[in-house]
A = this chain, B = another copy of it.
Amino acid sequence: MELSPINMPCDEREPDRPAQPGTFPSREADVSAQLPGERCVDFPVSVVLPAGGTGERTGLQTPKQFCSFLGRPLISYTIQAFERVSWIQTIVVAVAKENMDLMMDIVQRFQHRKVRVVPGGSTRHRSICNGVLALGEEEEVEERSSAGRPKVVIIHDAVRPFVEEDFLHKIAIAAKEQGAAGAIRPLVSTVIATTSEGYLDHSLERAKFRASEMPQGFTYEVIRQAYERCTESDFEFGTECLHLALQYCGTNAKLIEGPPTLWKVTYKRDLAAAESIVKETLSRSACVLTGGLTQAVALAEALQKAAAALEMELDVIPDLQGDHVRYLFGAWNFIQVSVSRDDLSEVETLLLALQAENRALLHPLVVILVHLSCSEELSISQRVAQPAAIMDLASKAKLQNILLYGIQLHQSKDGDLWERSVLKVAEIASALIRERSPALVGQLLQA
């Protein structure tokens, strides 16, 4: 059956997705290894994340930066995007006083190492200013940071989680050279001037204007002076740091076109979009463990082909020994193929290894037990005992942010039947990995 174009998903790799999302330190590490020195920044750079919003203005119960997807608040994703960058020293997060405890809790829970939490102000500029001043005190705060006062301060929004290292690098270098630098994007809509009565006055020539986005970078001196010199009115009503640098320091910022990944989480729909980006990136590949048994290897290789058609890459390995230990540290999805009857020991070993490494700290891991039953007839104990054991194991693993599911298929000598079963295992596994549903853990699904 041919796929009709109507059913074609929008499956192109597009520019709004991070190629190396900030959320994936292990992959990022690989890339750095390939490009030695290319991103080297030889001056101190720190970051200020204004996150002082309390949601009051928008009438929300939870301010956007503290809203969660996949079990983690948005601001933690953003922090991580900076934390993984080796040349960034301190990340100052300015939050409203009533959210200080919540923020400290997030820092501790997700083990953020470079973060300093300071009280925000009543407006965006006041929060940023507090963050900048806190960086100035770094010298005094001994042992807190070896960095001292930074040369360049990068300012970013807590609600833009997908900023990438290479763009941060551009901003930092340009800020050092020019005093100030900022991300811009083409305008997505025509900008129009309105009359006071609500009629069209004129429309702007789109090519001459740009949207000012984040991140922005400043030398420490420029941003500190800008805040020292600006007025109460600027603090109260202003929103644009580049404007302050121009007006109070005479610094014309260098403008750099950023990627669409810089987009800002504004509406609830944007949280769904952010979740889908993270889920998709987590779901591109999985590691299949066979134990080296012939039957299991044959099934794993058949699964590999079927999954490729579903745009998921499977790496088939016997176990996590030797060189393959890298999967223990890098993979987000594991498929354990089992041909023995009631034996969950392989999957238990895998779960223990993952827990020992605290691998599911930042993202839920998926572990799928694919159980190949070879006898044509099932014993009753097999049908009843194993599901209960898997459910039990899954309940415990879930507490560690590991999502365990089971899929059962029957060995068949009928080639067509077998092929259909394998395809079904691949479809179910792919769906489980993409959806990462906590409600379905422990289920033993039938292929």
Contacts and interface: CB of A to CB of B under 8 A. Distances in A.
Interface of A: 4-12, 14-17, 59-62, 64, 66-69, 71-73, 102, 105-106, 109, 178, 180, 182, 184-185, 187-195, 198-204, 206, 208-213, 239-240, 242-243, 246, 252-256, 260, 263-264, 266-277, 378, 380, 383-384, 387, 391, 427-428, 430-431, 435, 437-440, 442-446
B7 A200 contact: no
A208 B189 contact: no
Given A7-B68, A8-B67, 16 more contacts: A12-B59, A12-B60, A178-B199, A187-B191, A188-B264, A190-B239, A260-B267, A269-B273, A269-B276, A273-B273, A383-B383, A428-B440, A430-B439, A431-B438, A431-B439, A443-B446
Contacts of A195: 252
Contact of A105 (B6, B180, B272): B6
A201 B246 CA distance: 9
A210 B191 contact: yes
29 contacts: A5-B102, A6-B102, A10-B64, A11-B61, A12-B268, A184-B194, A185-B189, A188-B264, A188-B266, A191-B211, A192-B212, A192-B240, A192-B242, A192-B255, A193-B209, A199-B252, A199-B255, A200-B246, A200-B252, A203-B243, A263-B267, A270-B273, A272-B272, A391-B446, A428-B440, A430-B439, A435-B437, A440-B440, A443-B446
Contacts of A439: 427-428, 430-431
A271 B8 CA distance: 13
Contacts of A201: 252
A115 to B, nearest CB: 15
Tally of this chain's copies: 2
Given A9-B67, A199-B252, A199-B255, A212 B191 contact: yes
Contacts of A442: 446
A8 B62 contact: yes
A424 B201 CA distance: 59
Contact of A191 (B72, B209, B391): B209
Nearest to A73: B6
Contacts of A106: 6
A380 B381 CA distance: 11
Given A67-B9, A102-B5, A192 B206 contact: no
A202 B260 CA distance: 23
A383 B16 CA distance: 47
Chain A interface mostly: mixed
The 7 closest A-B pairs by CB, nearest first: A272-B276, A431-B439, A16-B267, A10-B67, A269-B273, A189-B211, A190-B212
A210 B182 contact: no
Nearest to A383: B383
Contact of A206 (B239, B246, B274): B239
A105 B6 CA distance: 9
A80 to B, nearest CB: 15
A16 B66 contact: no
B268 A10 contact: yes
A102 B6 CA distance: 8
Contacts of A203: 212, 240, 242-243
B210 A192 contact: yes
A10 B272 CA distance: 10
B184 A268 contact: no
B68 A6 contact: yes
Contacts of A277: 269, 272
A411 B246 CA distance: 72
A29 to B, nearest CB: 25
A378 B14 CA distance: 51
A65 to B, nearest CB: 10
Nearest to A206: B239
Contacts of A190: 211-212, 239-240, 243
